[in-house]
Amino acid sequence: MEEQKTGFAPDKRSENDNRKVQPNESANKLTPTKPQRESWRKRWNAVQFSKTAIVWACLAMIVGTMIVGFTWGGWVTDGTAQKTATTMANTAVVQRLSAICIAQFQMDPAKAQKLAELKDVSSYQRGTYVKDQGWSMMPGEEESDTKVATECGKQLALIE
């Protein structure tokens, strides 16, 4: 057997003793084992969120949903919906009334000459010309609508 030196009992050494290792000590004691890292799932399951963190996360989700909804989802506010509806309704009325204006133009006996004059007039004065001819005057009204006259002038200018 090996001879032991006095004062060096291998079983009585502390773990942080940095003196030379005796040959009978195992290699496992020299290299400390590295603890294995837990899996992502175990670490995630061990997390406990505070109430404050949950409230802030919910608020962030609400704001994110609103941003996505209003930019890409087609959401609109009440005021925007009403403005859009009013604009669409007015456009539809002007389209329908301009058809009546064209029908009144068709009943004019001198329509060929007046159509040539209308095409000679600049595009921004066509509505005034149609208004002066009385074609945009709707039955039962005292005054013609400028938007109807302008749209009627645009459509009459396209006639060949």
Secondary structure in 3-state letters for 69-125: HHHCCCCCCHHHHHHHHHHHHHHHHHHHHHHHHHHHHHCCCCHHHHHHHHHHCCHHH
The pLDDT assigned to 80 comes to 94
Residues 93 and 147 in one domain: yes
107 in the same domain as 53: no
Indicate the pLDDT class of residue 81, thresholds 50, 70 and 90: very high
Residues 125 and 149 in one domain: yes
Number of domains into which the chain is organized: 2
Do 86 and 141 belong together in one domain?
Answer: yes
Choose the weakest-confidence range: 7-21, 45-59, 64-78.
Answer: 7-21
List, for residues 94-122, the tens digit of each pLDDT value.
999 999 999 999 999 999 999 999 999 99
**Residue 154 binned pLDDT confidence (cut-offs 50, 70, 90):** very high
Q: Is residue 35 part of a domain?
A: no
Q: Which domain-ending residue is among 56, 71, 86?
A: 71
Given this model, what pLDDT does residue 38 score? Answer: 85
Query: Do the domain assignments include residue 12?
Result: no
Contact 121, 73 (CB under 8 A): no
pLDDT at residue 58 above 90? Answer: yes
| Domain identity same for 94 and 47 | no
Domain span holding position 82: 78-157
For residues 83 and 134, state if they share a domain: yes
Q: Assess contact for 115 and 159: CB atoms under 8 A.
A: yes
101 and 151 both lie in a single domain: yes
